[in-house]
Amino acid sequence: MGRILVIDDDASVREALRWALREAAHEVTLAADGLEGTRKYKEESADLVITDLFMPGQDGVKTILELRKFDPQVRILAVSGNVLSETVLPIAEKLGAIGILQKPWEIKQLLKAVDTALHAPVPAEKSA
């Protein structure tokens, strides 16, 4: 299926994503924050990056910007459960996230969003 990099500061969310994605036959790499995720993507790219938006250190918006700067065609699915999600998720989409998903999500929703993102056209370069 696809190689997916999951970036989330919540260990239980990372593990839930790992389990659900592996059950769907995806190869999964985990990162606990945006800095680690960006480093891992630069070492070995992925078909899709799933990133939380609200994390300590480097947040998801900065992570999206860094990843798109390194690889303008990276596919990113932004997720968030923060009370500001309704405002920030559309911003993430404008910055180049191919899709957005609000927590809490059901596994069926997640897998549909992942499938859609993996099969979406490669993002066009956006100027910052």
Domain of 100, CATH number, reads: 3.40.50.2300
Residue 126 confidence (pLDDT): 54
Share of the chain above pLDDT 90, in %: 61
User: Does residue 33 lie within any of the structural domains?
Assistant: yes
- State how many domains the chain has: 1
Nearest CA to 64 out of 30, 53, 39, 56 is that of 53
Residue 100 confidence (pLDDT): 80
Higher per-residue confidence, 1 vs 25? 25
User: Does residue 74 lie within any of the structural domains?
Assistant: yes
User: Does residue 87 lie within any of the structural domains?
Assistant: yes
Per residue in 33-86, pLDDT tens?
999 999 999 999 999 999 998 889 888 889 999 999 999 999 999 888 765 556
**Confidence tier at 128 by pLDDT (50, 70, 90):** very low
Question: Average model confidence (pLDDT) for the chain?
Answer: 88
User: Does residue 36 lie within any of the structural domains?
Assistant: yes
**Secondary structure, 3-state, the chain:** CCEEEEECCCHHHHHHHHHHHHHCCCEEEEECCHHHHHHHHHHCCCCEEEEECCCCCCCHHHHHHHHHHHCCCCCEEEEECCCCHHHHHHHHHHCCCCEEEECCCCHHHHHHHHHHHHHCCCCCCCCC
User: Does residue 67 lie within any of the structural domains?
Assistant: yes
**Confidence tier at 124 by pLDDT (50, 70, 90):** low
User: Does residue 15 lie within any of the structural domains?
Assistant: yes
User: Does residue 125 lie within any of the structural domains?
Assistant: no
User: Does residue 49 lie within any of the structural domains?
Assistant: yes
Q: Find the domain containing 20 and state its range.
A: 3-119
Q: Is the pLDDT of residue 6 over 90?
A: yes
